[in-house]
Structure 1
Amino acid sequence: MSKHFDYIIIGSGQAGTPLSTAFAKAGKKTALIERAHVGGCCVNEGCTPTKTMIASGRVAYLARRGQDYGVHTPSDGIAAKTLEGNSQNEVSVDMAKVRERKRNIVTDSRSFVDSKTIKVKMGDGKEETITGDVICINTGERPASPNLSGIETVPKERIRDSTSIMELGEVPSHLLVVGGGYIGLEFGQLFRRLGAEVTIIQRGKHLMPREDPDITSALLEIVREDGITVHLEAAAHSASYASGQIHISIKAPTGDLNLSGSHILFASGRVPNVESLNLPAAGIKFDGKKGYILCNDKLETNVPGIYALGDVKGPPAFTHISYDDFRILQTNLITNSSNPSAKPATITDRLVPYVAYTDPQLGHVGLHEYEARTKYPNATIKTAKMPMNYVARALETDESRGLMKAVINADTGMILGFSCLGVEGGEVMAIVQTAMMGNLRWEVLRDAVWAHPSLAESLNNLWGFLE
């Protein structure tokens, strides 16, 4: 005999967990199915643990820069008054302690039988069949498996992805990073600060290829300044292992290169967790190439009563987007259930912010310049770009690397997009996002009275660079 539920949620990520609670509070009989751990990728393998480790990396970075601020420790071996040169302090990193701190902060199968029935493999190996009136899929993504000739010759403990890299008990002597996107850069900079040599291999012409070229150029300068080697337009085509080292052959614009390192991080893609769901049995349509579940702007699949939330439906793959997906279904399935004439919540024209936790941070919201010019071909698109070394607060804290950039429609005065590659770039971005949500013209930010000294007051001066 199968158990019947009003609602079944597969996956307890940032959408599925609060959605199951909302259904239960609404008096609905609800089942939440999770293969690994409650909270999904963000809490267990993504945002929380990675940003915890990045905080450790930043402490190491600031410790080495102590002399820049006139702060000296007994290990300096010299007194402040006799300081000569600008050499960095040596900092000892206890990788096991970094890992322990991460673990302390973050304290198998299920498939469709048909469109209303799910077979669940329990933790004890037994199987149970359940049915539901409404089924919500929130199974997320995982790192893509490495696809590199010869990688099977490399010891498995030397091959890492964005999850397993955080379980290292020691700092790699030389970390090879395949992929120059958000994940590759965050981990590359982190381990460089922890003491590793780092080489990034990026297939595209730019790091973080979604961003505008002027932003990525500034980012490239920053990571190279931090001592990271970057190969652009480079593709790894084979690997081998000898004498305790990983050897990689890459094709680059300058010709073939041979690189060696102690560990390799594959950070060049993620794939949706759908292979165990048996989607065809339920008639659910999905992207035949990548496997993402297809749904409309109300998160409905082609099968009535089945919805998809979060990363499993494709990009943008951000935790806050998954949480907003929860809001949409909560509105449509609970709040509006007693009022069929209510306007449904949708993802149409959803304003998408995100932050890459490089240092300095890269915060972005809305359209990039190239997107704005494509979307509004007949509009007068203007941009305002200002270096962070024009920001008083950034100079005072000696954190003046990067730039901020706004994209506006000069015909309407509306802000279409904003990027801040700078100290607390995500927080500065959020100020502009609030203005965009309120449909404020750019002049409102220019003419506002911001507290001094603050990063926000840069929004007075940014618009002087409008062109």
Structure 2
Amino acid sequence: MPKTTSYDALIIGSGQAGNPLATALADAGRRVVLVESFQLGGSCINYGCVPTKTLLASAERTHAVRTAAEYGVRTHAPTVDMAAVIERKDALLRKLRAGIRSNLTVERPGITLLQGHARFTGPRSVQVALASGETTALTAPLIFINTGTRPAMPQLDGLNETPYLTTDQLLDLKELPAHLLIIGGGYIGLEFGQMYRRFGSQVTIVESGGQVLDREDADVSKALQAALANEGIEFVLNARTRRVSRNQAGELTLTVDTRTGERRLRGTHLLLATGRTPNTDDLGLDAAGIKTDEHGYIQVNERLKTGVRGVYALGDVHGGPQFTHISYDDYRVVRDALLRNKRRSAKDRPLPYAVFTEPQLGRIGLSETQAQEQNIPYRVAKLPVSTIGRAQQTGLAAGFWKILVGEDDRLLGAAILGPEGGDVMAVLQVSMVGRLKYQQLQEMVWAHPTWAEALNNVFARLK
């Protein structure tokens, strides 16, 4: 039997909630052990926000060079060195991981960092299969599960016999696909689709629903799809993918059923962007009595407690919106409860997010569809980006701003589809937190010429 070591707190997973919680508990004098089975940093740093946005920056530079003539700049057509693009991303990830390791170990001696896979053996005990091949047993009165998610695999005939890419794997591909087929029209599929189209790939996105970004208002989804289609991306909607195959020449074929009949889509590479599944199936949760839902997500209350005393679940592993900033707020919920004697709730909190396509989409609060479903009275102000002075100067004129106002003249929500949509959305989020009335934004002195200056104009279009 391996020797058992006791700690004040055990954190399973080095994600965007687990890491800051480890440092906060250590700074408070707690003895903390953090177990990570893969790379330090969790999904955001290793296969989420950081690598994807780093690659998007390279794609944006490529597009800027390709379209430079439209701005009076003569240059040669860009040549993309995918190996160099990937190495730029990898160099940043190595730097960030090293910084995390230093923060967790060198800077805080109260944290023990273990590389290995943790599995529950009881309500507050785990056994860790270390990367070295040895096994150790750990106990703690407080255990925090922050194990994140992995790409979900669709049920698709021929998939096991056909090479495919997950979003994690595509981040390391050092060759440029001639024709990238993408299953999934969510924000991940759209970001990767535009990225590789700008690198020079032909791109086809297959979506089972009637619109991309199925949680957005139809006008927002259609406008973004139109902008991406103008760059040459093909969309196949209302399409049920039935089979994938590969011929002797290496060409892939997707067989899909559409409303107009069967279609066969051919390409060189296949990306599965069909969502993610929680990393809970190999944690031994039954041994601890920890409950999950039908999809494997750990069930928690508003304070992120499981049904087992002293055990919490943080980040993507408990379901709900899977964003880095939500995971970080999970850390604050637990930190305040344990170290500051403050009660915070993980339910009904603001959900800002951005889709990093061009045009960018920033979203906060209620959509128009949600306001209608909840019978909440509203007025809507909608402003085409093309009317904004900054858009005319930069040539970035696709999209529109859409802001919902309640009966009390305060903001209910917004969808900002356009350049710097996420940052403009943040201005509106602050206004919502401060309960400003729209007239205060409309009459505010904004610097000229900025994107935010359009807040002087958008509310004149209230209906």
Q: TM-score, normalised by structure 2?
A: 0.93
The structure 1 residue matched to 2:152, chosen from 133, 144, 147, is 144
Letter of the 1:382 counterpart: R
Within the alignment, does 1:195 sit opposite 2:200 as a pair? yes
Task: Give the SS at the match of 2:140.
Answer: strand
* CA displacement at 1:109 relative to structure 2: 2.1
CA distance in 2, matches of 1:348, 1:163: 29
CA distance in 2, matches of 1:414, 1:301: 36
CA distance in 1, matches of 2:226, 2:172: 29
Give structure 2 stretches of 5+ with no counterpart. 95-115
CA distance in 2, matches of 1:414, 1:196: 45
Q: TM-score, normalised by structure 1?
A: 0.93
Give structure 1 stretches of 5+ with no counterpart. 76-89, 337-342
Within the alignment, does 1:392 sit opposite 2:380 as a pair? no
The structure 1 residue matched to 2:295, chosen from 290, 294, 305, is 290
* CA displacement at 1:355 relative to structure 2: 0.7
* CA displacement at 1:146 relative to structure 2: 4.0
CA deviations 1:91-149 (Å, max 9, x no partner) are 21111111111111111421111111101111111111100001111111111124210
The structure 1 residue matched to 2:251, chosen from 207, 230, 245, is 245
* CA displacement at 1:68 relative to structure 2: 0.6
* CA displacement at 1:432 relative to structure 2: 0.5
CA deviations 1:192-240 (Å, max 9, x no partner) are 0000000000011110111111100101110110100001111110011
Match for residue 118 of structure 1? 126
Is the contact made by 1:388 and 1:401 (CA closer than 8 Å) also made in structure 2? yes
Within the alignment, does 1:219 sit opposite 2:231 as a pair? no
Once superposed, which parts of structure 1, at least 4 consecutive aligned residues long, lie more than 6 Å away?
none
User: Which sits farther off after the overlay, 54-63 or 108-117?
Assistant: 108-117
- The CA RMSD over aligned residues, in Å, is 1.0
Within the alignment, does 1:254 sit opposite 2:249 as a pair? no
* CA displacement at 1:348 relative to structure 2: 3.1
Is the contact made by 1:386 and 1:403 (CA closer than 8 Å) also made in structure 2? yes
Letter of the 1:38 counterpart: L
Letter of the 1:292 counterpart: Y
Match for residue 103 of structure 1? 90
* CA displacement at 1:420 relative to structure 2: 0.8
Is the contact made by 2:371 and 2:377 (CA closer than 8 Å) also made in structure 1? no
Within the alignment, does 1:450 sit opposite 2:455 as a pair? no
The structure 2 residue matched to 1:2, chosen from 1, 4, 10, is 4
User: Which sits farther off after the overlay, 131-140 or 90-99?
Assistant: 90-99
Match for residue 361 of structure 1? 360
Tell me the number of residue pairs that the alignment of Structure 1 and Structure 2 aligns. 439
The structure 1 residue matched to 2:335, chosen from 324, 330, 340, is 330
* CA displacement at 1:38 relative to structure 2: 1.2
Letter of the 1:144 counterpart: A
Task: Give the SS at the match of 2:271.
Answer: strand
Match for residue 434 of structure 2? 438
CA distance in 2, matches of 1:464, 1:425: 20
1:36-435 alignment, distance < 5 Å = 36-73=38-75, 75=76, 90-107=77-94, 108-154=116-162, 156=163, 159-242=164-247, 243-287=249-293, 289-336=294-341, 343-375=342-374, 377=375, 379-409=376-406, 411-435=407-431
Is the contact made by 1:109 and 1:276 (CA closer than 8 Å) also made in structure 2? no
Is the contact made by 2:11 and 2:18 (CA closer than 8 Å) also made in structure 1? yes
Letter of the 1:261 counterpart: G
Letter of the 1:356 counterpart: V
The percent identity for this pair of structures is 43
Task: Give the SS at the match of 2:349.
Answer: coil
